[in-house]
Amino acid sequence: MAVDAVAPAVTPRRTSKGGGLWRYIVIRLLLIIPTVLILVTLVFFLMRLTGDPITAALGGRLPPDQLAERIAAAGYDQPLILQYLQYLGGVVRGDFGTTITDRRPVIEILLQYGSATLELAIYALIVAFVVSIPLGLIAAYRRDRWQDAVLRIMAILAYATPIFFVGLLLKLLFSVWLGWLPVSGRGSTRTELLMSGIDTPTGIYLLDAIRLGNGAAIGDVLWHAVLPAIALGLLTAGVFLRLVRTNVIGTLGQQYVTSGRSRGVGEMRLVTRHAFRPALIPIITVMGMQVAMLLAGAVLTETVFEWKGLGFMLAEYLKARDFVAVQGIVVMIAVIVAVTNFVVDIVAAAIDPRVRY
Amino acid sequence: MSLHSTRGRLGLAIGALGVSALVLSGCATSTGGDEGGAGGEIVVGTTDKITSLDPAGSYDNGSFAVMNQVYPFLLNSTYGTAEVTPDIAESAEFTSPTEYTVTLKPGLKFANGNDLTSSDVKFSFDRVVTINDPNGPASLLGNLDSVATPDDTTVVFTLKNGNDQIWPLILSSPAAPIVDEDVFSADSVTSDDDIVEGEPFAGQYTITSYKVNELIAYKPYDGYQGNLGAAENDGVSVKYYADASNLKLAVGNGDIDVAFRSLSATDVEDLSKNDKVKVVEGPGGETRYIVFNFNTMPFGATTAEADPAKAQAVRQAAASLVDREALASNVYKDTYSPLYSFVPQGMPGATEPLKELYGDGSGGPSVDKAKEILDAAGVQTPVALSLQYNGDHYGPSSGDEYAAVKAQLEEGGLFAVDLQQTEWVQYAKDRTADVYPAYQLGWFPDYSDADNYLSPFFLTENFLGNHYDNPEVNDLIVASQTETDSDKRMEMIGQIQDLVANDLSTLPLLQGKQVAVVGAGVEGTTLDASFKFRYAPLTK
């Protein structure tokens, strides 16, 4: 081959904004399948390390012959790989099995309690944003001054303090000593009765109360959400605060900010618009990872405040050693984390085209 | 073989049930509630759990608590007593040694409008036996041969063994709620949703709203014709808590009117100082005790130094060293009381043989007495005793309880106790596999009769599986079950307690109390020896 031969023209890659984004979405969507498959497989086999679910739940409470009968009836005497394939088939069809302790389809539990966890997670994210963004901006603007030092310590405390401890402290202070806020639950008895009477409820109490147009119920639902949302939200707020601070410090040093300042743009506008908006992308990306942290935190928060969501039920079924239910809930949480990360990645890609490459 | 040997259910966490034909002495009722009329809407809180609303599919406190409000029984006890009398029955009696005939009141109806007839009664019992669910109460119907319905209001139970003195109690137990044959499945457990939708209720209440283990709303059923009368309140809501501390805070703050089952001893003590609430106590059927394995305990039958006399001396010395008063007050803040027999106090036939036989002769511990017993048997001290307990099944205070027991047994250097805890599933397997020489257990009665504290434990074939075998005790228990003369039966029950007190197959420690914490303005709280908590007399 001649050295000076002209290299064949390379067909330019499609780089139009829309095409690149769709390709990215499809690839990320396809990647969810092996991710979830690996998660389901791991959860299934890790659960089975403890033995079959029937023995775990009822062992010691039933005579051996009855126990064997129930194990056989549920198919847990079959080879493990066959059980795995059957479980996988069920998951694909949306059948996660039936709980051992209260005989309820796991999918029903996921749907019923998933909405409660979603509601709490949304409240917690709101708290996290409301707390972390302004404080993060202040910390960045007052870098290395006493305000920054105080806020950094606060951030560390927020995510380093065990969530159940924060929950108990909040409860002790605002419910027991001051008597300002409810001790536990998602609503008062009256509200709960009201919610259970709704046809086709969403399970998100605030939405259901709004649909009913009942102001007292809306207030009651929000009132009950204050402490759990703060307890769970502070966990994420600590991480977000530090992230906002670091990124805004970076952007405040950029040339365009200096230019803006020389053009007479106000400091408030410089920080909240010019410096903050570009700093938002890393925060959105990290938010995906924070969902996993929120769901893990929800187990403890929901337990402390008896917020009857997926985390609460997970703890209850763990106590009852109902591993069919535990397996279903853990798989569902894994799927939620995978899907949320997918959504966050897509949002980040839509905001910043560099992400697609 | 005992008449009731199939009824014992491993002595574990069963509902406190049934009622005695003999009135128990103790009962607590907060004042008021006698007048009918609007008693307001009551909110009850509990940490109990519901397994199923289907009587064939559950046998636990939480589920039975609901059944007691919504299903009728053939026989039931009225408030404040444990004596069973006809509920929706007009009459109930033995018409031959093996036939028990019940006549229903005329015109009975379920809340859904369906007639309640003898056919429903037969259906209710037949399906419990047919379904035989592992979580169900089929074992209580072990003596039932068949049910016949000569007409719409007559039911004839044919029993396998005659003169069963426990049978009337069984008719008010978890095996006996009467259900609607048009709503329930004959051969499988019916789902809670189908039950609530079908309204097969004919008790004092119907269910108007149901979220399992979250919230139940009850409305008085005006078609109830049983012996308990109409509800005195306008309705009851029951909130289910997972954590007893939240239950405590809720009742202390006035968010709920009644907290029943299960507040910790320290919570009850704390709430007793709160002016907004009052603590109501009643007799309890729960017992806590130590089991000795006759094979593996020191000097047991399969040990290298097997010697029945020395083994017995070890058990008797232990009985002389335990300080039940200290356990009750220090560990359980007096929510338990000392137990000096195998049958709890308040139960007809209960005696206190251990009080005089061991310790200082009046219920207290005595190192001298223990030493005397061991010396007389030639037992060298300290006796090495491995003692097991479980914290996740019998409550978190078990750790404190058994730490105190260890300290008491080691008083005077007579015992060297190796105290260990094991997780429940493993514990339940190990205890029947002769792994533990001595171990903790607890018992909730299946029905309110002394027999339920004797036959499951001390027959040759017993649920403990601790190799205890005294033919005299075995024969006396079997004879007492079919003894129709009440006085003679009580005498036999006393003899059994004396014999076992000498053998000490188990070492009774404590007897539980029923405790409810109610708002200061709540009246009508009734905790009696039927062990059924009724919502209907509550008012505020």
pLDDT tens-digit map of B373-429? 999 999 999 999 999 998 777 877 899 999 999 999 999 999 999 999 987 767 877
Those residues whose C-beta lies under 8 Å from the C-beta of residue B487, and which sit 6 or more positions away, are none
- What mean pLDDT is predicted for residues B301-314? 96
d(CA B338, CA B401): 13
The per-residue pLDDT of chain A, averaged, comes to: 85
Nearest to B83, CA basis, from B18, B33, B15, B8: B18
Contact by Cβ (8 Å): B375, B407: no
Apex CA B295: angle with CA B291 and CA B301, to 5°?
140
**pLDDT for res A123:** 95
d(CA A246, CA A240): 10
- In terms of Cβ atoms closer than 10 Å to its own Cβ (0-12, 13-18, 19+), residue A265 is middle
Those residues whose C-beta lies under 8 Å from the C-beta of residue B36, and which sit 6 or more positions away, are B229, B230, B232
d(CA B514, CA B282): 5
**Phi-psi sector, B13: left (phi>0), alpha (psi -120 to 50), beta:** left
On chain A, the residues whose CB falls within 8 A of the CB of B43 are 189
Q: Which amino acid is at A99?
A: T
Q: Rounded to the nearest 10 degrees, how much is the dihedral formed by the CA atoms of B196, B200, B204, B206?
A: 30
**Which domains are delineated in chain A?**
20-96+309-357 (no CATH), 115-308 (1.10.3720)
- What mean pLDDT is predicted for residues B172-197? 96
d(CA B117, CA B110): 10
pTM of the model: 0.82
Which carries the bigger pLDDT value, residue A95 or residue B505?
Answer: B505
For residue A306, give the nearest of B243, B424, B427 by CB distance: B243
**pLDDT for res A18:** 52
Q: Is the pLDDT of residue B9 over 50?
A: no
**Which domains are delineated in chain B?**
284-513 (3.10.105.10)
| Pairing mode of beta strands B144-151, B235-240 | unpaired
Confidence check on the interface: ipTM exceeds 0.90, yes or no: no
On chain B, the residues whose CB falls within 8 A of the CB of A171 are 249
Which carries the bigger pLDDT value, residue B255 or residue A319?
Answer: B255
| Pairing mode of beta strands B526-528, B84-86 | unpaired
For residue A184, give the nearest of B214, B217, B246 by CB distance: B246
Structure tokens that stand for B249 in this block? 């805070």
Contact by Cβ (8 Å): A125, A240: no
Contact by Cβ (8 Å): B316, B504: yes
Q: Is the pLDDT of residue B4 over 50?
A: no
Which carries the bigger pLDDT value, residue B275 or residue A276?
Answer: B275
For residue A70, give the nearest of B134, B217, B424 by CB distance: B134
Distance of CA A307 to the CA centre of its chain: 15
Q: Is the pLDDT of residue A221 over 60?
A: yes
- What mean pLDDT is predicted for residues A203-225? 95
Mark which residues 396-435 of B lie under 8 Å from A by CB. Answer: 424-429
The per-residue pLDDT of chain B, averaged, comes to: 90
Nearest to B238, CA basis, from B519, B539, B532, B535: B535
Query: How does residue A13 score in pLDDT terms, banded at 50, 70 and 90?
Result: very low
**pLDDT for res A356:** 60
Cβ within 8 Å, pair A60-B249: no
Q: Is the pLDDT of residue A196 over 50?
A: yes
Q: What is the C-alpha end-to-end distance of chain B, expressed in Å? A: 51
Weakest-pLDDT range from A190-204, A284-298, B129-143, B198-212: A284-298
Contact by Cβ (8 Å): B218, B42: no
For B259-286, the pLDDT digits (tens) are 998 888 889 999 999 999 999 998 888 9
Query: How does residue A52 score in pLDDT terms, banded at 50, 70 and 90?
Result: confident
d(CA A332, CA A68): 29
Apex CA B170: angle with CA B169 and CA B171, to 5°?
90
- What mean pLDDT is predicted for residues B357-376? 97
| Shortest Cα–Cα distance, B482 to chain A (Å) | 28
d(CA B7, CA A87): 37
Is the sign of the CA dihedral B342, B344, B349, B355 positive or negative?
A: positive
For B333-361, the pLDDT digits (tens) are 888 999 999 999 888 899 999 999 999 99
Distance of CA B210 to the CA centre of its chain: 26
**pLDDT for res B350:** 93
Q: Is the pLDDT of residue B31 over 70?
A: no
| Shortest Cα–Cα distance, A254 to chain B (Å) | 53
| Shortest Cα–Cα distance, B189 to chain A (Å) | 10
Nearest to B70, CA basis, from B182, B258, B236, B211: B236
**pLDDT for res A338:** 85
- What mean pLDDT is predicted for residues B284-301? 95
**pLDDT for res B28:** 58
Q: Is B10 on the interface with A (CB under 8 A)?
A: yes
Residue of chain B nearest A104, judged by CA positions:
B191
Structure tokens that stand for A187 in this block? 């609503």
